[in-house]
Amino acid sequence: MLELKAVDAGYGATTILHSVSLNVQAGESVTIIGGNGAGKTTTLRTIIGLLRPTAGTIHFEGQDISRLSAHEVVELGITLVPEGRQLFPDMTVRENLYMGAFRRDARSQAEKTLKEVLELFPRVAERLDQQAESLSGGEQQMVAIARGLMARPRLLMFDEPSLGLAPIIVEQVFSVIDSIVKTGVTVLIVEQNVHHTLNAADRGYVLENGEVVLEDAAQALLTNDHVRQAYLGI
């Protein structure tokens, strides 16, 4: 479904990603793990078209999307749930959710989608008319994920969905991601919370200094010596 081949990308003259190759098959849940500054967010920004690769190609469902703008990539069905939620604080939860449905395919079905999405998020459903800023961090993360689903994505990408959340909320976030995969949405998760994300994913890539240094089944990465020492503190 998604394939990066030997992608270089960065900011100005600084190259951050060095020949990154990775793929995500339809229906899979794939994770990219790595420490601070490894290039995880840069990878997602490059896929969604906010950064342009300086080398290599990105294909989505057979189409070369390497040179498309973010607007065009989103129209094809890729959505990013950004790091730090980035809700509109003064708007209600309902208004925030409708902001997710701007994509052409999603706009006309927004009401129907909202009903479907709220089934996954009962606590969000109770808070539709509240201002987004009045929600707890965990509730805001759920709204950010629900907003992503409002775009009716084919590929939903998460940038550190567990960041800053209490352990019990982290469990809930990963449980919701699991439910989303079960509805048939393909998922790519970038995380520093290695234990949770490897348990949630089918496959994983380890990114260090902008390079993929390891890739394997998620369960195999959980028992890999390097992953255990560098990321799980075992």
Site residues for ligand ATP per CB under 6 A = 11, 14, 16, 34, 36-42, 192
Q: How far is the CB of 141 from ligand ATP (least distance, A)?
A: 16
Residue 42 or 162: the one with the smaller Cβ distance to ligand ATP is 42
Residue 139 or 191: the one with the smaller Cβ distance to ligand ATP is 191
The radius of gyration of the chain from alpha carbons, rounded to an integer in Å, stands at: 17
Q: How far is the CB of 43 from ligand ATP (least distance, A)?
A: 7
Residue 77 or 210: the one with the smaller Cβ distance to ligand ATP is 210
Residues 152 and 207 sit within 8 Å (Cβ to Cβ): no
Residue 43 or 113: the one with the smaller Cβ distance to ligand ATP is 43
Question: Which residues in 82-135 belong to E strands, given as ranges?
Answer: none
* Nearest partner of 66 among 79, 49, 80, judged by Cα: 49
The single residue listed with the structure tokens 């200094």 is: 209
15: Cβ contacts below 8 Å, ≥ 6 apart: 8, 9, 54, 210
Residue 79 or 96: the one with the smaller Cβ distance to ligand ATP is 79
Residue 61 has a CB neighbour count (10 Å cut-off) of 14
Q: Identify the helix (H) or strand (E) that includes residue 203.
A: strand 203-208
Q: How far is the CB of 70 from ligand ATP (least distance, A)?
A: 15
Q: How far is the CB of 5 from ligand ATP (least distance, A)?
A: 19
Instruction: Write the single-letter amino acid at 59.
Output: H
Q: How far is the CB of 50 from ligand ATP (least distance, A)?
A: 10
